[in-house]
């Protein structure tokens, strides 16, 4: 087990050397007395080599997609080509400042302008904004546009419809924008129940937030009817685009009749994902909603690019002009390197991989909606409860085999859910390894369930009581260490 960096500390050790301090004023000469510390700041004193080794060792303890398979359903955790990182790090992108004169950042502005156009072409929408910092942020921006649209007509609608197969952040985004939510049921095929939708769609409903493909990995085959039912009451049809990895080059939200969609660049377009960010969740809209987009946006005049000022109709700024710029660069590289045919291959291979896993695992695991899926599918650990095994035990045991666990217990409409998404970047050897591992765990569940109850045993941190850890988090030792 790797030690704390404080355990490497030795008085006098340092990774830097500052020799000329003649012209440097002390903190006592610069800062007001009330801002000065009353006690010495306790920082570890370690050499550069010790620091590098410590964090290298720590990184090897974590699971990541460069290490092994990461089949996290709904989150599209796929390999990030290193060319993305290399190009985003070039000085012309990584060392610019938001306040630079526009003449010195023409390349960055052109990249943003072109990326907006690419995303519109991919989604079939009229206009886009790159400002939102994440998928849930994009959802909120989309709902605020929906609200602004109705308010511009003097309407204050109360509700937004959320299917029971939608992403979990959708209700939160709707609530944050001031709406109440109404749940729409799924039918036996895993799609929206049209009768339930018709019953709940009224003039008080602002619109619907529809995940397509939904979290069951099922394409909403009645999408045209869904759009027509909502539009009949002038409702807005919003597509949660977190599962866009299944649609690239095959079908576009705009062509299906959606009014607003968000995209997760950190999922679909292969930029670093997880650990709290950074992310990027642009949204794209149909023409009649373009005037409500956050501003400023990049416009082109002749050969010059510049930010276009906000308008009275805009919902206003939601982030800085450049958003999470390094993520935009990575997405731009990914899209331009693959092109339209390459992007289509991404989705087709993701769908192929998902169906390959599903058709093999159905021999061992229950799959409630066992039909041709898109990029992901939902299995169930329900049939292992008779052996005293739950989905959580299966997920924990997967960690012992060096594979990250899928999303568990979501969507809520599947008991003991295992939400599995292999993505397009896993080869058949990797998929077969996952299948063999899942079959092995199924055998263990029947023959020696205690192995699963105690899992994981090969990871740096053994099984925790997650509920207790969340409710009784103890960080007192950190405070005490800094005080002593």
| The model scores a pTM over 0.85 | yes
Classify 283 as helix, strand or coil.
Answer: strand
Collect contacts of 185-193 with beta carbons under 8 A, ≥24 apart: 186/214, 186/216, 186/413, 189/218, 189/221, 189/369, 189/371, 190/165, 190/214, 190/216, 190/218, 190/368, 190/369, 190/371, 191/218, 191/220, 191/221, 191/222, 192/163, 192/165, 192/220, 192/222, 192/226
Q: Check: CB of residue 108 under 8 Å from CB of residue 93.
A: yes
Q: Check: CB of residue 209 under 8 Å from CB of residue 192.
A: no
Q: Spell out the domain ranges in the chain.
A: 5-61, 85-337, 340-470
Tokens representing residue 151 in the block: 């308010």
- Return the pLDDT at 38: 85
- Return the pLDDT at 276: 55
Q: Check: CB of residue 213 under 8 Å from CB of residue 374.
A: yes
- Buried b vs exposed e over 37-72: b needs ≥16 C-beta within 10 Å? eeeeeeeeebeeebeeebeeeeeeeebbbeeebbbb
CA distances (Å), origin 254, targets 124, 126, 217, 259: 4, 8, 20, 7
Domains 85-337 and 340-470 share a fold: no
- Return the pLDDT at 420: 98
Tokens representing residue 215 in the block: 């979290």
Tokens representing residue 324 in the block: 């999470």
Q: Which residues, including other chains, have CB under 8 Å from residue 355's CB and lie 6 or more apart? A: 372, 373, 377
User: How close are the terminal C-alpha atoms of the chain, in Å?
Assistant: 24
Secondary-structure percent of the chain, ordered helix, strand, coil, rounded to 5: 45, 10, 45
Classify 147 as helix, strand or coil.
Answer: helix
- Return the pLDDT at 480: 47
Classify 177 as helix, strand or coil.
Answer: coil
User: 325-361 and 106-123 helices cross at what angle (nearest 10)?
Assistant: 30
Question: Cis peptide leading into 69, omega within 30 of 0?
Answer: no
- Return the pLDDT at 63: 87
Q: Check: CB of residue 317 under 8 Å from CB of residue 131.
A: yes
Q: Write the CATH number of the domain with boundaries 85-337.
A: 3.40.640.10
- Return the pLDDT at 277: 62
Tokens representing residue 31 in the block: 């800062």
Is CATH 3.40.50.2000 correct for 340-470?
A: no
Question: Taking the chain (484 residues) in consecutive chunks of 10 residues, what is each chunk's mean pLDDT?
Answer: 90 78 73 87 91 91 88 91 93 92 95 98 97 94 98 97 92 96 95 97 98 95 97 98 96 98 93 72 97 93 90 90 93 96 98 98 94 95 96 97 95 95 96 98 97 93 81 61 45
């Amino acid at each position: 087990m790797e030690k704390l960096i404080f355990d490497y500390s030795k008085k006098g050790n340092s990774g830097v050397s500052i020799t000329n301090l003649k012209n440097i004023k002390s903190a006592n000469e610069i800062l007001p007395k009330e801002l000065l510390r009353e006690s010495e700041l306790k920082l570890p004193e370690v050499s550069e080599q010790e620091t590098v080794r410590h964090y290298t060792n720590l990184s090897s303890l974590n699971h990541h997609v460069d290490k092994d398979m990461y089949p996290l359903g709904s989150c599209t955790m796929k390999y990030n080509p290193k060319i993305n990182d290399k190009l985003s790090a070039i000085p012309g992108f990584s060392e610019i400042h938001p306040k630079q004169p526009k003449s010195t950042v023409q390349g960055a502005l052109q990249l943003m302008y072109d990326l907006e156009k690419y995303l519109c072409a991919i989604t079939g929408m009229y206009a886009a904004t790159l400002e939102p910092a994440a998928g849930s942020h994009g959802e909120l921006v989309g709902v605020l546009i929906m609200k602004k649209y109705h308010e511009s007509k003097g309407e204050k609608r109360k509700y937004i419809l959320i299917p029971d197969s939608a992403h979990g952040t959708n209700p939160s985004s709707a609530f944050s924008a001031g709406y109440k939510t109404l749940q729409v049921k799924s039918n036996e095929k895993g799609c929206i129940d049209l009768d339930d939708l018709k019953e709940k769609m009224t003039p008080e409903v602002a619109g619907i937030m529809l995940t397509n493909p939904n979290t069951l990995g099922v394409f909403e085959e009645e999408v045209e009817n869904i759009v027509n039912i909502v539009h009949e009451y002038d409702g807005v049809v919003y597509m949660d685009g977190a599962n866009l990895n299944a649609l690239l080059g095959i079908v576009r939200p705009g062509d299906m009749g959606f009014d607003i969609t968000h995209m997760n660049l950190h999922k679909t377009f292969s930029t670093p994902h997880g650990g709290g960010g950074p992310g990027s969740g642009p949204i794209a809209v149909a023409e009649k909603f373009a005037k409500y987009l956050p501003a400023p946006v990049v416009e082109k005049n002749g050969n010059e690019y510049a930010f276009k000022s906000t308008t009275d109709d805009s919902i206003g700024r939601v982030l800085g002009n450049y958003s999470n710029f390094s993520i935009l660069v990575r997405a731009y590289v990914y899209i331009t390197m693959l092109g339209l045919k390459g992007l289509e291959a991404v989705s087709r291979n993701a769908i192929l991989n998902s169906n390959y896993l599903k058709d093999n695992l159905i021999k061992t695991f229950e799959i409630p909606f066992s039909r041709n899926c898109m990029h992901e599918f939902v299995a169930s650990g329900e049939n292992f409860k008779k052996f005293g095994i739950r989905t959580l035990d299966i997920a924990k045991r997967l960690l012992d085999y060096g594979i990250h666990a899928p999303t568990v217990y979501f969507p809520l409409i599947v008991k003991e859910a295992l939400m599995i998404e292999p993505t397009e970047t896993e080869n058949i050897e990797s998929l077969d390894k996952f299948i063999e591992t899942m079959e092995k765990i199924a055998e263990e569940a029947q023959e020696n369930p205690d192995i699963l109850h105690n899992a994981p045993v090969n990871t740096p941190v053994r099984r925790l009581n997650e509920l207790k850890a969340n409710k009784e988090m103890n960080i007192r030792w950190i405070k005490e260490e800094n005080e002593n």
